Amino acid sequence: MLKWALIFLIISIIAGIFGFRGVASTAKTVAKVLFFIALVIFVLMLLFGSALF
């Protein structure tokens, strides 16, 4: 999931450089959401161990 967050972040940066602000904003939002989902899953894994997943 972090891999996809990084991909969307790179897409956002490239779109921002070329002036596609709508695409850059959307890609940034998707990257942020994926990062926080991965962070929540990581914290749950730390708290409950691998028995939860």
User: Tens of pLDDT along 6-53?
Assistant: 999 999 999 999 999 999 999 999 999 999 999 999 998 888 886 666
pLDDT of res. 32:
94
Give 32: exposed, middle or buried? Use CB within 10 Å, 0-12, 13-18, 19+: middle
3-state secondary structure of 20: coil
Q: What pLDDT is stored for residue 48 in this prediction? A: 87
Instruction: Let me know if residue 53 belongs to a domain.
Output: no
Read off the pLDDT band of 1 (50, 70, 90).
confident
Confidence at residue 52, expressed as pLDDT on a 0 to 100 scale: 60
Task: State the total domains in the chain.
Answer: 1
Domain range for 25 is: 2-41
Residue 10 falls inside a structural domain: yes
**pLDDT over 80 (residue 2):** yes
In a domain, 23, yes or no: yes
| 51 in Cβ contact with 28 (< 8 Å) | no
